[in-house]
Every structure is written in C-alpha cells, then in structure tokens.
Amino acid sequence: MRTDRTERLLNLVLCLLGARIPVSRAAIREAVPGYGDSASSEAFERMFERDKDELRTMGVPIDTVLSCDGDVEGYRIRSDEYSMPAVAFTSAELAVLGLAAQAWSDAALGSAAQGALRKIEAVTGARSESLDIGVSLTARPGAGDHLLPTLWEAIRVRRVVGFAYRGLRDTATGERIVEPWGTARVRGAWYLAGHDRDRADTRVFRLSRVQGTITASSPPGEFDRVTARDVRGVIERLADDDPIAVARVEVTSGGVRLRLRADDPADSPLVVRYSDESQLVSDIAELGTSARVIDPVELRGQVQQSLAAVLQAHGGAR
C-alpha cells in the first residue's frame, strides 16, 4: 500500500525529531514509510529533497549535520527549536473557546472543535464554563468556502487548477486555468491569488464567484511557491469588492449578517450595499420567511430560485 504524501512528511518529521543522533539518508529510506516504495535510489533522492524543502518552507527546522571531513552525516530536528511554549488560557478565554466549539457543534468541524477543547482542558486542568449570551450561534460556511480544501491541497503540491468563473463585471462565465499561489480572507470574503495562464498575468478570484467545482489539471510541482505574505498583499491590492448595487430587505427576526452590512442595522427595511450577489442571496435565503427582498426585483428572483432549489432537494416537503 502506497503512503500518502502528507503521512510521509509527518513520518519524516517524527523520525528526525525523535532521533538522538543525526539520521543518515540510508536510515531515513529504511525507517520512514513511503520511501521504500521508490523505484530507485535516484527516485528516493528526488523525493527526499522535495520533502525536505517543503518541510523547511513550512517552518520545520531540519538541520543538515556535517562530519569533520565536510561530508553530510545526516539530518535532525532539534526539539528545542521546534517545540512550542506552554499554552495557558484564562477562565474568560476558555469560556470563549467553549462558545466557539458550541457554534461549530452542528458543522463539519464539530467533532474536531469539541476534541480540541477537551485537549485544552486536559492540559490546563481547567474546564470551560457554559456562556449564555442570549443568542444562538451557528457556524455556516459562506458561498465558495467549500472550495477551500481542494485549493489548499493544490497550493500545497503546486498543481494548476481549472474552474468556471464570472467576475464582478463579466457578462458571461468563462473558464480559468490558474497557478494557485494562496488564499486569504480579506474584508469578509475568501480570495484566491495566482497566475492566470490564459491571460498571462496575476489575477485574484473571489471564491463566491466560482461556478461549480475546482479541478486539478496538472501534475504536482508545476510552478514556484509564493510566500503567504506576498499572496495577502496581492489580494489586498487587487480584490474588487466595491459596492455596485443597493438592496432593501425587510427582516422580521435574526439577520445578523445582513445587519452588519447594512447602512443602519436598526433600519426597517435594511439598506444593504453589495458587490457579490451570490453571497447576498445566500445570506437572505438562510432566513427563510423572516426576510423579504423589496428591491431590486432581480435579487428577489434569485432568492426565490435559491429557496425553490432547497425545497426540491428535500423532495418538495415543506
């Protein structure tokens, strides 16, 4: 059975971190699952060099240890350079963490959030107290957020991706072939920065405007890695999110997302300026009968279509 790349990287870290003396390449090939699958010594060398460079890019301090003659004796990771300081939380911080875990309880990360909270409590010896703020919190992915895992994997292994996209001022959806450099959440929305191969230029894409799915369209290692700092700088400079339309929405209860974006959260109806119609449709549709679009008429139709799709997905049961 072949070893997954992520599992192999983790095994390499554990091997080098747990060793008291530098580990030679021959010992690494024998001890780390995944390297034994190499067809030849040359294939192992290429695989190991890629893994070593990737771990160093992630911030893992792999030392190359030289002998007295200047030859490479082996590799190691010093535990004092890689370990994190002790984590401590106040009672108020634990309460907020408990509230966050509660918000994720019904989401895909619910079990992971609860498990993380239990581990923190075990290490600190303190338990998070329930916090009643009089508001029901639920974590809900925004439009396009479901694309992040696919993108993060493509960014990690440097694969070119393809997707259908309709930009803010595009009249039609077009196919994009992109070298994905990284993602960042800027001004409340997730964006992808990368090199658009068809346009031969740097481009930024708002994930909520991606139509359908994202697919990898190349082998790994197709382009050079870009630092996270540079990615955020590109997104902050090129993100096109200036409001281009105004909606009036009557909300009878709830609607925190809409109220935060409205000119006045206490208005009735709410006046919301927006640039991303799909995100606004999602925010309104989740309120069901508690929200009604007054204008524009086109936005009202989009919300109705969204609700009809939900109804159809549930077999027409109300």
Residue 70 has pLDDT above 90, yes or no: no
Which pLDDT value is given to residue 79?
82
Tokens of 107: 């989401």
The residue-averaged pLDDT of 6-33 equals 88
The dotted CATH code for 5-82 is 1.10.10
Sequence ranges of the chain with CATH classification 1.10.10: 5-82
**What does residue 121 show for φ and ψ, rounded to 5 degrees?**
-65, -35
Sequence ranges of the chain with CATH classification 2.30.30: 145-238
Interior CA angle at 194 toward 192 and 199, to 5°? 120
**Dmax (CA) of the chain:** 80
The residue-averaged pLDDT of 151-175 equals 89
Which pLDDT value is given to residue 1?
44
Which pLDDT value is given to residue 233?
86
Mean pLDDT of the chain: 82
Q: What is the pLDDT of residues 136-152, one digit of tens each?
A: 555 566 667 888 889 99
Which pLDDT value is given to residue 301?
92
pLDDT tier, 159 (very low <50, low <70, confident <90, very high otherwise):
very high
Q: What is the CATH T-level fold of the domain 145-238, as seen in this structure?
A: SH3 type barrels. (2.30.30)
Q: What is the pLDDT of residues 267-311, one digit of tens each?
A: 889 998 887 777 788 889 888 888 999 999 999 999 999 898 888
pLDDT tier, 183 (very low <50, low <70, confident <90, very high otherwise):
very high
Tokens of 213: 């799915």
Q: What is the pLDDT of residues 71-130, one digit of tens each?
A: 888 999 988 777 767 777 777 777 777 777 766 655 555 666 667 767 776 666 666 555
158 contacts: CB under 8 Å, gap ≥ 6 = 179, 220, 221, 222, 223, 224, 225
